[in-house]
Amino acid sequence: MDTNVDVSMRVNGDPVSRRIEARMNLVDFLREELGLSGSHVGCEHGVCGACTVRVDGRIVRGCLMVAAQADGADVTTIEGLSDTGEIRALQDAFVERNALQCGYCTPGMLLTLAELMERNRAASRSEIREFISGNYCRCTGYEAIVDAFEMARSARSGGGGDAA
Amino acid sequence: MTDLIADRWILDRPNSYIGRSVPRPNAPRLAEGRGTFVDDVPLGPRAGHVAFVRSPHAHARMRSIDTEAARASPGVIAVLTGRDLAAIHDPWIGVLTHLEGLKSAPQYALPLDTATWQGEAVAAVVADSRARAEDAAELVAIVWEVLPAVTDPASALDPDTPVIHESLGDNLAWRRNVDFGDIEAAYAEADHVIEETFVFARHTGVCVEPRAILADWNPAEEQLTVWHNTQCPHMIQNILATHYRLDEHRVRVIAGDVGGSFGIKVHTYADEIATVGLSILLKRPVKFVADRMESFVTDIHARAQTVKGRIAVRNDGTILGFEIDALSGIGPYSMYPRTSGIEANQIVNLMGGPYEFDHYRAQATVVFQNKNMMCQYRAVGHPVKCAVTEGLVDAAARATGLDPAELRQRNLRADDSYPCRSVQGLPFENLSHEESLAKLLEAMDYEALKDERDALREEGVYRGIGLASFIEVTNPSAMFYGVGGARISAQDGATMRLDARGNVFVATGATEQGQGMEAVISQVAATAVGVPPERLKIVTGDTEHTPYGGGTWASRAAGIGGEAVARAGRALREQILRAAATMLQEDAANLDIRNGVVVEAQTGAERIGLDEIGRICYYRPDTLPDGFQSELVATRHYVPRKYPFAFTNGVQASYLEVDVETGFITLLDHWCIEDCGTVINPLLVDEQIRGGIVQGLGGALFEECVYDRDGQMLNATMADYLVPMAAELPDMQCGHVESPTAESDLGAKGAGEAGTCGAPAAVMNALNDALAPLGASRLTDMPFTPRKVLRALGRI
Amino acid sequence: MKPAPFAYVRAATLDDALRTLEEHGDGARVLAGGQSLMATLNMRLSAPEVLVDIGRVDGLAGIEDTGDTLRIGAMTRHVEVETSELVAEHAPLVASAMPHIAHPAIRNAGTFGGSIAFADPAAELPACAVALGARMTIAGKAGSRTVEADAFFRGLYETAIAPREILTAVEVPKIAPGWKSGLMELARRHGDYAIIGLAAHVEVEGGRFGGGRLVFFGAGDHPVAAAQTAALLEGETWSDRLADRLAASLKEELDPFEDLNADAAMRRHLAGVLVKRTLGPLAAA
């Protein structure tokens, strides 16, 4: 049986089509086929959260989904969110609060927080901590990340994933 | 001009950026996902991807390797073994001459015939994709002769235990004994001699970015280019040149963005060295990116110490002496080039560090094991010596009936006693134990917290408070490694250049691992020259474009790399002012640079912009007087000479609650007061402290590489090897005392490891404090899992 | 690691999916949300020849009020269950389980049916299904059949779904008046599989227990209903003495496994703690 497959999807607004191995997962597809290297690969078993991307409006693990499953879907990565400015307030807060150190987990962390901003903008500190509990950061100890979320939601401009 | 006498000029500069929370110049790029980690470097279609065949056995001889089926697998470029690679490289031996007696066996990129730990790479498959390399790796057929595995440090030296390397004669890697004062006399004099055994599990760093290397050999130029997520580009350049018999200038190492290192990425990993050899043999780029399961069985492990400790104390709380006997099981080789002896050495050297006492005896034994390699990970040895020291100090408090804070206050080295030496003979320049503890007790409101704890106990809520004072080694001189023969640079260099539009280019041998080195460099450079940070371009991590340096390790980058930048910046400012003085027909001594403009030093009146100086020097030198040649590049180097290390100090406290029915521990609060000398960037320092604390908390409560008796690691996935996550952690309060080192102009010491050093001890003491009223047996065996807590309580 | 090569077929309809399964026999695996399957493929613990993606099959997703039950389609994502008002009202036990299942990104992709069909012994939903007496609808070549939860979970990752069959829906009986439920688990970290957990569904009137089920996860190779212990509740009001009797009974009734986090004795002990902490508040509420 053919182990290759055709896929087409919109990535950061752009239509893309490729013929790929069926086993290729979404994050490898984004990185290797499209050169979108902002989403990172940290474990390939769905634990670290570094590969978090948005598919049809919701965050998923890019390593726990074959690219073929996203055929026809609307996929957004950190590059797309940066270009549209949707999470500018979060990004600014991350820089100001030093909520990133090595930056490897940061794209996945930001996508996760963008979804929290949409679902529960008023989240308490412990709710923020729970929401990011599937995203590894080995540098910061998370406190700065929680602070940055709080800073971003109270920032006047940008809105950081603000659904309002 | 600059010399070796600190005069603090940089702290007195106008418009100083030192001490300010300046944002990191590289942070926006990372926040937009536009970094360049090794795996992000674009590759052409000729690139090979390697998958290693790894030993499923802890100890086994390869009777034969059949690579035929693998070679025929789709996309495969080559399948190579240890013997193929041995033809082009020389093995290494991880010893240092100053760790007298330390021995190890020659290690090759891939072993020639015997695998000595589960996960060791034994053959390499290179294919046009990683997935296809993995397909073929499954087809490599090895006939194994399984050998007995040495997996228990306690019996490693028994006569009937097999010897891992016959050429070494036994499984003893190293033993060190020291004896200062007269510990037997201290025992005789003491009212209490308390003995406890402390156990520290094997754990590892879990960088979210795995180890990765991309090697590209150009045979026509005989040029090797290596993209590597290393902490030490120059060290790796030297090692690759040495072991592949190349001239050093034929090797370029580029360390771009690095996704966390914590000491994990400061070593010579055989599979990475093998990847370089594959590129040389195949004359094409070859990339290796460790997957997570490979990471757990090959990224260095650390700690793994069993320490029997004793403290001798008088009824009035006076500590008379300590004794320890430490046993550690490392891997089958001592890691190269830093060796696997340093962790034990640090424990011996630093025990009891915060306290004044006269008698000390120590033995450290390091034995080989058929388990993954061990070496330096964040705060090498420190969490162990701190927990043993502080656990024994708390034991002394219980024996004497003194409050743990009170006992510490009575024994801490006095703030007015410096300079002085530790009982082991290490020089302390200036520490602040007393002030730090006072500040900590105030920050946590110690007395009120004790009252709260006691009141809650009445209600069946068990909370505990734990303290831990510590010292930490930072800014190491050549006494750390260089003196032992390792080609590891303790010095660092910086080159700064005024560009034609008045911007300043800075290249430094220090490297960025996410700790914020580029921000620190920018603050120091901006201050030293007199320009705003946004006018700087900073280059790190490239042996072709930076002065020779050590990179990032042992909390050295800010203190040593930063100092080199300060001195280069001062030199550049003086050179710019000479040019300005010539143009303005003014005495250079009356001029200064502020905010990118040459001004009159007295009045601040603006005279000429740096852009104009650049324009004239580079495009219209004809307008300058005969005989004047502008020099707008300056390079300076720095290495500590007077002190082998800049010791720092600090104290941490943990407040936690134990669910005595489930054994679960909830961390409620954590405090750290730390003295790293001059704080260049308060925000970055605090985040180093917090991140470090969390790695210490991990060791205390969660992290353990679990091996079975056959040497199989049982929890080599992220789902099974637990590290603390956001929901398990408290907010952490940081504070500082600043005792700058007089050895450098900046006065900065390191801060990257203090958090990790003290946190496990603080948690251990808090846990035992919480359980004390319940008559539980003491817990000194990390990690403190719910199972251990329930057992200590006699519930299971 | 990357998965071994496989072919990928996206089924358009249930028949299509079943036909593909027939065609490929044991070499085929059903891909639902993929949150467990993909991890095992990535580790090469399993190497199917073909994945049959049922993600776009019509009629497999959604939560429907059928009168006495909620019909939860197998492909309903965890996040839909988590935020469903129907589930909150009629199956509060399921609602309370949802936040414990892994993490938001996994709940966005993972499916209700996938969790049930994968039957991890430490997972919450299989235990909830047993506690509530849910019925599983399984489609095969010969049509659909229904299996009671008690008969559905058979062993370690083993269910009543035969090869070439697909779980299509789970029917969860609505909570009846006078019944209460509670779920509690002990996990080393938030979102991790529990060391042990309890899904309790009991009848309580005026502080007095009637019938009910106490179903443990992480206590055996599949959800473990502690029937003997649950029987002790009948007619009792809450007291420390009752808690002690329940805990003692669980020590006899449960036969849990040992892993890196806990041995059998610890799991038995924790089971008693969970029963006390779960039932006490239910009796009082």
CATH number of B9-35+491-638: 3.30.365.10
Walk across the sheet containing C50-53 and list its strands.
C7-10, C50-53, C28-31
Q: Report pLDDT for A161.
A: 44
Please answer yes or no on whether B728 and C3 come within 8 Å at the CB atom. Answer: no
Please answer yes or no on whether B732 and A143 come within 8 Å at the CB atom. Answer: yes
Say whether pLDDT at C133 is over 80.
Answer: yes
Angle B34-B37-B43 (CA atoms, 0-180°, nearest 5)? 95
Domains and CATH numbers, chain C: 7-53 (3.30.43.10), 63-173 (3.30.465.10), 179-284 (3.30.390.50)
CA distance C17 to C6: 16
Residue C188 contacts B, CB cutoff 8 Å: yes
Q: Report pLDDT for B6.
A: 57
- Residue ranges in A38-105 assigned as alpha helix (H): 78-84, 88-97
Residues of B in contact with A23 (CB under 8 A): 131
- The alpha carbon torsion through C101, C107, C110, C115 (nearest 10 deg) reads 20
Residue C4 contacts B, CB cutoff 8 Å: yes
Residues of B in contact with C260 (CB under 8 A): 706, 714-715, 720
Helices B446-458/B433-443 angle, 10° precision: 50
Q: Give the residue from chain A lying closest to C48, CA to CA.
A: A23
Q: Report pLDDT for A9.
A: 98
Angle B429-B434-B436 (CA atoms, 0-180°, nearest 5)? 90
The CA distance from B52 to the nearest CA of chain C, in Å, is 11
Say whether pLDDT at A158 is over 80.
Answer: no
**Interface with chain B: mutation pick from A109, A139, A140, A150, highest number of B CBs within 10 Å:** A139
- Among B278, B290, B354, B283, residue whose Cα is nearest residue B84: B278
Q: Which helix (H) or strand (E) holds C62?
A: none
Q: Give chain C's length.
A: 285
Rounded alpha-carbon distances, angstroms, from residue B255 to B147, B252, B559:
39, 10, 21
Residue A130 contacts C, CB cutoff 8 Å: yes
Mean pLDDT across A32-40? 98
- CATH of B38-147+210-258+265-298, picked from 3.40.50.880, 3.90.1170.50, 3.40.50.720, 3.40.50.300, is 3.90.1170.50
Please answer yes or no on whether A94 and B31 come within 8 Å at the CB atom. Answer: yes
Structure-block tokens of residue B203: 């754990």
Please answer yes or no on whether C260 and B795 come within 8 Å at the CB atom. Answer: no
Q: Report pLDDT for B7.
A: 77
Please answer yes or no on whether B706 and C260 come within 8 Å at the CB atom. Answer: yes
Q: Do domains B9-35+491-638 and B301-478+642-792 have the same CATH topology?
A: yes
SS (H, E, C) C138-186: EEECCEEEEEEHHHHEEECCEECCCCCCEEEEEEEECCCCCEEEEEEEE
Q: Give the residue from chain C lying closest to A109, CA to CA.
A: C105
* β B427-428/B504-508 pair status: unpaired
Angle C138-C141-C147 (CA atoms, 0-180°, nearest 5)? 20
Residues of C in contact with B795 (CB under 8 A): 269
CA distance B360 to A138: 36
Say whether pLDDT at C192 is over 70.
Answer: yes
Residue C3 contacts B, CB cutoff 8 Å: yes
- Among B202, B201, B206, residue whose Cα is nearest residue B292: B206
Residues of B in contact with C261 (CB under 8 A): 785-787
In A, residues 26-85, which contact B (CB 8 Å cutoff)? Answer: 31, 35-45, 47-48, 50, 77-79, 82
**Assigned fold of A4-81:** Ubiquitin-like (UB roll) (3.10.20)
Q: Please answer whether residues B302 and B381 qualify as being in contact, where contact means their C-beta atoms are separated by less than 8 angstroms.
A: no
Please answer yes or no on whether C273 and B662 come within 8 Å at the CB atom. Answer: yes
Please answer yes or no on whether A142 and B694 come within 8 Å at the CB atom. Answer: yes
- Among B58, B172, B50, B157, residue whose Cα is nearest residue B114: B58
CA distance B513 to B510: 10
CA distance A115 to A87: 10
CA distance B333 to B165: 9
Which pLDDT band, with edges at 50, 70 and 90, does A164 fall under? very low
Residues of B in contact with A145 (CB under 8 A): 726
Please answer yes or no on whether C109 and A61 come within 8 Å at the CB atom. Answer: yes
- Among B345, B265, B368, B336, residue whose Cα is nearest residue B94: B336
Please answer yes or no on whether C260 and B134 come within 8 Å at the CB atom. Answer: no
Q: Please answer whether residues B723 and B206 qualify as being in contact, where contact means their C-beta atoms are separated by less than 8 angstroms.
A: yes
The CA distance from A37 to the nearest CA of chain B, in Å, is 6
Residue A19 contacts C, CB cutoff 8 Å: no
Q: Which helix (H) or strand (E) holds B192?
A: strand B192-204
**Residues with Cβ < 8 Å from A78, sequence gap 6 or more?**
A38, A39, A107, A110, A111, B32, B33
Q: Report pLDDT for C170.
A: 98
Q: Report pLDDT for B4.
A: 41
Please answer yes or no on whether C103 and A68 come within 8 Å at the CB atom. Answer: no
* β C153-155/C158-159 pair status: antiparallel
Which pLDDT band, with edges at 50, 70 and 90, does A157 fall under? very low
Structure-block tokens of residue B250: 């034929």
Which amino acid would we find at residue B69? Answer: A
The CA distance from B482 to the nearest CA of chain A, in Å, is 28
**Residue recorded with tokens 């990683």:** B130
Residue B252 pairs in a beta bridge with: B225
Q: Give the residue from chain C lying closest to B290, CA to CA.
A: C1
Q: Please answer whether residues A128 and A115 qualify as being in contact, where contact means their C-beta atoms are separated by less than 8 angstroms.
A: no
What is the DSSP track for B210-269?
A: PPEEEEEEETTTTEEEEEE--S-HHHHHHHHHHHTT--GGGEEEE-------TTTTSS--
Q: Which of B130, B664, B796 is closest, CB to CB, to C269?
A: B796
Residue B31 contacts A, CB cutoff 8 Å: yes
Residue C262 contacts B, CB cutoff 8 Å: yes
Q: Give the residue from chain A lying closest to B734, CA to CA.
A: A143
In B, residues 174-233, which contact A (CB 8 Å cutoff)? Answer: 205-210
Q: Which helix (H) or strand (E) holds B475?
A: none
Q: Please answer whether residues B356 and B434 qualify as being in contact, where contact means their C-beta atoms are separated by less than 8 angstroms.
A: no
Say whether pLDDT at A162 is over 70.
Answer: no
Q: Which of A22, A58, A130 is closest, CB to CB, to C190?
A: A130
Residues of chain B scoring pLDDT < 50: 1-4
Residue C173 pairs in a beta bridge with: C69
- Among B391, B463, B390, residue whose Cα is nearest residue B779: B391
Q: Give the residue from chain C lying closest to A70, CA to CA.
A: C55
**Interface with chain C: mutation pick from B130, B297, B784, B790, highest number of C CBs within 10 Å:** B790
Q: Give chain A's length.
A: 164
Rounded alpha-carbon distances, angstroms, from residue B638 to B2, B24, B75, C12:
11, 24, 50, 69
Q: Which of B135, B293, B787 is closest, CB to CB, to C266?
A: B787
Q: How many Cα atoms are found within 13 Å in the side-chain-facing hemisphere of B719?
A: 15
DSSP state of B162: P
Domain ranges of chain A: 4-81, 87-154
The CA distance from A58 to the nearest CA of chain C, in Å, is 7
CA distance B369 to B333: 8
The CA distance from A15 to the nearest CA of chain B, in Å, is 21
Residues of B in contact with C186 (CB under 8 A): 662, 664, 786
Walk across the sheet containing C224-225 and list its strands.
C179-186, C196-205, C208-217, C224-225
Residues on C contacting A at a C-beta cutoff of 8 Å: 1-8, 10, 24, 31, 34-35, 38-39, 41-43, 49-51, 53, 55, 79, 99, 102-106, 108-109, 189-191
**Residues with Cβ < 8 Å from B758, sequence gap 6 or more?**
B383, B386, B468, B469, B470, B650, B651, B652, B672, B693, B696
Q: Please answer whether residues A71 and A61 qualify as being in contact, where contact means their C-beta atoms are separated by less than 8 angstroms.
A: no
Residues of C in contact with A131 (CB under 8 A): 104
Q: Report pLDDT for A155.
A: 85
Please answer yes or no on whether C5 and B135 come within 8 Å at the CB atom. Answer: yes
- Among B790, B776, B769, residue whose Cα is nearest residue B457: B769
What does the pLDDT look like over C8-21, one tens digit per residue? 999 999 999 999 99
Q: Which of B131, B717, B722 is closest, CB to CB, to C2?
A: B131
Please answer yes or no on whether A101 and B514 come within 8 Å at the CB atom. Answer: yes
CA distance B271 to B168: 24
Structure-block tokens of residue A64: 């726990």
Q: Give chain B's length.
A: 796
What does the pLDDT look like over C70-118, one tens digit per residue? 999 999 999 999 999 999 999 999 999 999 999 999 999 999 999 999 9
Q: Report pLDDT for A160.
A: 43
Please answer yes or no on whether B257 and A103 come within 8 Å at the CB atom. Answer: yes
CA B174 and chain centroid, separation = 22
Q: Report pLDDT for A156.
A: 53
Q: Which of A40, A100, A110 is closest, CB to CB, to B209?
A: A40
The CA distance from C265 to the nearest CA of chain B, in Å, is 6
Residue A68 contacts C, CB cutoff 8 Å: yes
Say whether pLDDT at A68 is over 50.
Answer: yes
Please answer yes or no on whether A23 and C5 come within 8 Å at the CB atom. Answer: yes
Q: Report pLDDT for B774.
A: 97
CA distance B678 to B527: 14
Domain ranges of chain B: 9-35+491-638, 38-147+210-258+265-298, 301-478+642-792
CA end-to-end distance (rounded Å), chain B: 70
Strands (E), chain A: 4-11, 14-21, 52-55, 58-61, 74-76
Q: Please answer whether residues A28 and A18 qualify as being in contact, where contact means their C-beta atoms are separated by less than 8 angstroms.
A: no
CA distance B557 to B539: 14
DSSP state of B445: T
Rounded alpha-carbon distances, angstroms, from residue A72 to A34, B211, C56:
16, 34, 11
Q: Is the peptide bond before B783 cis (omega within 30 degrees of 0)?
A: yes
CATH number of B301-478+642-792: 3.30.365.10
**Assigned fold of A87-154:** DNA polymerase; domain 1 (1.10.150)
Q: Which of C4, C6, C106 is closest, CB to CB, to A46?
A: C106
CA distance A136 to B726: 8
Q: Give the residue from chain B lying closest to C269, CA to CA.
A: B796
